[in-house]
Amino acid sequence: MKTLSIGIGCRLHSSAEQIEAAVRAALGSHAFDEISAIASVDTKAHEAGLLEFCARHALPLKLFSRAQIAAISVSDPSAATREHLGIDGVCEPCALLAAAAESDAGSAVRAAYASALASVASGASGTSVASAAAVASVASVASVASVALAASTVPAASVASITPNPPNARLLVRKTIHGGVTVAIASITAQPAREQTNNAHQEQDLS
């Protein structure tokens, strides 16, 4: 099941191989195919290595503005990132924002589906035409849900807009650093975040 949102900060011209190695190192016991989306700051919209990594694995790339990122608290602020971008970090906020975006999209589909089912129930005692229309509505919502799920496997960079500090998004893996690439992992599950394991010295999130 795809439940993991991966936040990535990287230096300019980081290769797809460097990014993949960092992601796999951060995943630990999590499987690579659990990844639902990759996320970063919108200044990385044309970063070749990041785009290649996402395309290679058919993963959508979600991009967030510095204003959105600044609204999320960072456990280990980066002085270099603050100097280059005016924000305290990239990977942790982006992971949380992407997880929240995934949750919001799923909630919208579930709400629409529940509404359609309620229409079926209320129409059961009415005319057959009304019931048929309600059933068609359920089928339509199910179709939309299928398209939404399928779309999550298509690599595409998009700028998302969600509510800051969403309560249902949790960090599973805090910022890790591997070869100049920082990675954090978030989900809508309630698993506790793991502590950083390889940040003996601070490296920049991106430049």
**Of residues 61 and 204, which shows the higher confidence score?**
61
C-alpha closest to that of 113 among 148, 70, 154: 148
Please write the tens of the pLDDT for every residue from 84-100: 999 999 999 999 999 99
Task: Report whether pLDDT(150) > 90.
Answer: no
CATH domain 4-101+154-187 topology? Nucleotidyltransferase; domain 5 (3.30.420)
Tokens at 89, concatenated:
């970090």
**What is the rounded distance in angstroms from the CA atom of residue 97 to the CA atom of residue 159?**
11
Please write the tens of the pLDDT for every residue from 152-191: 333 556 555 444 455 578 999 999 999 999 999 999 865 5
- Sheet of 35-41: strand order equals 157-159, 61-64, 35-41, 4-10, 181-187, 170-178
Tally the C-alpha atoms within 13 A of residue 172's C-alpha that lie toward its C-beta. 22
Task: Report whether pLDDT(16) > 50.
Answer: yes
Q: What is the mean pLDDT of the chain?
A: 75
Provide the β-strand partners of residue 173: 185, 194
Q: Do the Cβ atoms of 64 and 93 come closer than 8 Å?
A: yes
Domain range annotation of the chain: 4-101+154-187, 104-150
Task: Report whether pLDDT(110) > 60.
Answer: no
Note the pLDDT of residue 190. Answer: 54
